[in-house]
């Protein structure tokens, strides 16, 4: 479906996330991966969706002078929002442990923003998914951190990992958004591009 639509477009996915890369493979479209190191720092006054929108645009801005006429650049950012705090990737093991402990027996929101950039325009879409963890024993958290090392994941967990199987009791909204990309919204955007 999308393959023929984008035959004259170079789709550039600027993400090192294996999960996002797999989603794009699953879409069945040709794309290339281009990566740049970006310091993911945002103004302190930003809250909620504004943070991920800002970071997705920041990642796209790094490619500003390189885009050709028929390039479509796609960047993305995901964070966990809990108790009015943004939880990004953990700094270390202890930070990851504290994050997971705080998520136990509570509902948090996973916010995903995706930026689409061409030479002419920049647009951002986003998605919010509510995720509820049941109780997590300390030994469950230690087992997960030692065996799955989720230190590259917002909120210190992957819903598709062991901790998701044993700990998540409820989800409201897009599952793939929690994995790292709101695929349904991205597909719809590309369909109407």
Q: Which domains does the chain possess?
A: 2-191 (3.90.950.10)
| Pair 151, 96: CB distance under 8 Å | yes
177 pLDDT exceeds 90?
A: yes
The single residue of 8, 30, 77, 152 carrying the catalytic annotation is: 77
| Pair 60, 38: CB distance under 8 Å | no
Mean pLDDT of 109-130: 97
Q: How far apart are CA 161 and CA 55, in angstroms?
A: 25
Categorize the per-residue pLDDT at 7 as very low, low, confident or very high, splitting at 50, 70 and 90. confident
3 pLDDT exceeds 90?
A: no
- Residues in the chain, how many? 193
1 pLDDT exceeds 80?
A: no
pLDDT at 156: 96
CB atoms under 10 Å from CB of 108, counted, come to 20
pLDDT at 115: 98
Task: Answer yes or no: 77 catalytic.
Answer: yes
30 pLDDT exceeds 80?
A: yes
- First and final C-alpha spacing in the chain: 13
């Amino acid at each position: 479906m999308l393959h023929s639509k984008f035959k004259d477009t170079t789709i550039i996915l600027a993400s090192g996330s294996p999960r996002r890369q797999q989603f794009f493979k699953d879409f069945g479209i040709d794309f290339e991966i281009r990566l740049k190191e970006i310091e993911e720092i945002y103004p302190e006054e930003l809250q909620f969706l504004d943070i991920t929108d800002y970071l997705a645009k920041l990642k796209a801005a790094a490619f500003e002078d390189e885009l050709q006429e028929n390039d479509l650049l796609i960047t993305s950012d995901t964070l966990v929002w809990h108790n009015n705090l943004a939880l990004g990737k953990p700094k270390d093991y202890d930070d990851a442990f504290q994050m997971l402990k705080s998520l136990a027996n509570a509902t948090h929101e996973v916010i995903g923003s995706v930026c689409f950039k061409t030479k002419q325009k920049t647009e951002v879409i986003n998605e919010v998914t509510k995720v509820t963890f049941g109780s997590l024993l300390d030994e469950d958290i230690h087992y997960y951190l030692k065996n799955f090392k989720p230190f590259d994941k917002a909120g210190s967990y992957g819903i598709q990992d062991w901790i998701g199987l044993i700990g998540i009791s409820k989800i409201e909204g897009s599952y793939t958004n929690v994995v790292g990309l709101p695929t349904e919204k991205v597909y719809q955007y590309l369909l109407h591009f």
